[in-house]
Amino acid sequence: MKILYLIHTIDNLGGTELHTKTLSKEVSNFAQTWIVGLSGKGVVIESKGERTEIPCELPPFPKTPYQFAPLERVLKDVVDHIQPNVIHIQHFLRWHYGVLDQLVSTKIPVYLTLHDYFLFSPAFTYLASTFDEYLKNSKNIFGTDEKDYLAERYKKLTNSVQRINQLIVPSAFCERVFAKVRYPQVIEHGITPFKVSGEGKNIGFVGSFLPQKGSEVILKLGAKRDPLLPPILVYGADGEAPGLKFMGTYSESDRGRVFGDLKAVIIPSLFHETYSLLLSEAWFGGVFPIVSNIGALGERVKEAGIKCPPGDVLAFKNALNHIDEHFSPQKVRLATEMAAEYLTLYG
């Protein structure tokens, strides 16, 4: 079996990219796999540790068109060359948004996993209560009023989603969100195991230090931190701020060291997380999570952690006084289990 995974970018260390690389690696024990993504200069193909770059003009963003001939031609050539039995779209940010229809037209089975809310709007972390809310906020998304573009994009994409073989989401929360478009199949993400090394004495933040991930909450927690206490460690960024110690970027192979440093991790997301691989990694590493009670992130935490209102700095500060260093982590799904479910789906 040959499987082509299509994604927006290969080189970032975001959750979608990590999931795609993990899935491709696990599935490659039973099938040939390729990851096809975009760089700043064109299309990138990775397979068996080898990388091929194809220069290509890319469409504008965020107002990407339905069709974009230069990228369509390159993608057609790639698919014709690989001749996959299955195409699994992980994300189509920065691709022409007619890419779903282009791939469906090949008559090859096409699957789509939704990792955020890009199906609704280019502002992919923004989950509105109704589609009319997206239209009302189109000027905030694009800088100009683009109601007509958003409406046409949504109409075409909802039609495209009906034509694919299966729509997939990683959580029950997403199942409810996207059921109004097409009822999806839930396949929970899995992580690769890692060996923890460290004394686990610190409190930290791990991941992309971005506003939607709650960077402002961390900065305010640092500013309120008692100077007699150790600083909050920030893994994933460089910088300086009161009460914080920035540890720089890290790679997947560093997870054992990162989580080995921590007794608790703060996950203060301000948007509706669709899953949170970080939460799974924290539990696997025996690290106590303090999370925003929002989206799948909040729903997944039952007893093994503390949930705080999103953006409530005082609640997060108080939670730091109630870390349970002897808690029982919730069971997490491993990548081998996830891959087995996908192979069954692919047939």
Question: Which one-letter amino acid corresponds to residue 144?
Answer: T
Q: What is the pLDDT of residue 41?
A: 93
The answer on 221 and 75 residing in a single domain is no
* Total domains in the fold of the chain: 2
> Looking at residue 204, what DSSP letter applies?
E
Q: What is the pLDDT of residue 337?
A: 98
Q: Does residue 327 belong to any structural domain of this protein?
A: no
Q: Does residue 103 belong to any structural domain of this protein?
A: yes
The answer on 209 and 126 residing in a single domain is no
The answer on 133 and 56 residing in a single domain is yes
The answer on 218 and 121 residing in a single domain is no
Q: Does residue 316 belong to any structural domain of this protein?
A: yes
- Could you give the CA distance from residue 186 to residue 193 in angstroms, rounded to a whole number? 22
Q: What is the pLDDT of residue 14?
A: 82
Q: What is the pLDDT of residue 12?
A: 79
Question: Which one-letter amino acid corresponds to residue 209?
Answer: F
The answer on 221 and 140 residing in a single domain is no
pLDDT in tens, the chain (347 residues): 999 999 999 887 788 999 999 999 999 999 999 999 999 899 999 999 999 999 999 999 999 999 999 999 999 999 999 999 999 999 999 999 999 999 999 999 999 999 999 999 999 999 999 999 999 989 988 889 999 999 999 999 999 999 999 999 999 999 999 999 999 999 999 999 999 998 999 999 999 999 999 999 999 999 999 999 999 999 999 999 999 999 999 988 999 999 999 999 999 999 999 999 999 999 999 999 999 999 999 999 999 999 999 999 999 999 999 999 899 999 999 999 999 999 999 99
- Could you give the CA distance from residue 270 to residue 293 in angstroms, rounded to a whole number? 9
Q: Where are the beta strands (DSSP E) in the chain?
A: 2-9, 32-38, 42-47, 50-55, 86-89, 110-113, 166-169, 185-186, 202-206, 232-235, 244-246, 262-267, 288-292, 306-308
Put the strands of the sheet holding 306-308 in their side by side order. 244-246, 232-235, 202-206, 262-267, 288-292, 306-308
- Could you give the CA distance from residue 289 to residue 278 in angstroms, rounded to a whole number? 10
Q: What is the pTM of this model?
A: 0.95
Q: Does residue 174 belong to any structural domain of this protein?
A: yes
The answer on 153 and 262 residing in a single domain is no
The answer on 255 and 156 residing in a single domain is no
- Which CATH number fits the domain that encloses residue 295? 3.40.50.2000
Q: Does residue 45 belong to any structural domain of this protein?
A: yes
The answer on 314 and 240 residing in a single domain is yes
The answer on 61 and 31 residing in a single domain is yes
The answer on 53 and 165 residing in a single domain is yes
Q: What is the pLDDT of residue 108?
A: 98
Q: What is the pLDDT of residue 11?
A: 84
Q: What is the pLDDT of residue 140?
A: 86
Q: Does residue 274 belong to any structural domain of this protein?
A: yes
- Could you give the CA distance from residue 78 to residue 264 in angstroms, rounded to a whole number? 45
Cα–Cα distance list, 64 to 123, 206, 239 (Å): 12, 32, 34
Q: Does residue 329 belong to any structural domain of this protein?
A: no
The answer on 340 and 316 residing in a single domain is no
The answer on 43 and 177 residing in a single domain is yes
Q: What is the pLDDT of residue 10?
A: 86
Q: What is the pLDDT of residue 53?
A: 96
Q: Does residue 195 belong to any structural domain of this protein?
A: no
Q: What is the pLDDT of residue 296?
A: 98
- Look up the domain containing 36 and give its range: 2-190+336-346
Chain position carrying tokens 């931190």: 225
Whether residue 319 contacts residue 333, with contact meaning beta carbons closer than 8 Å, is answered with no
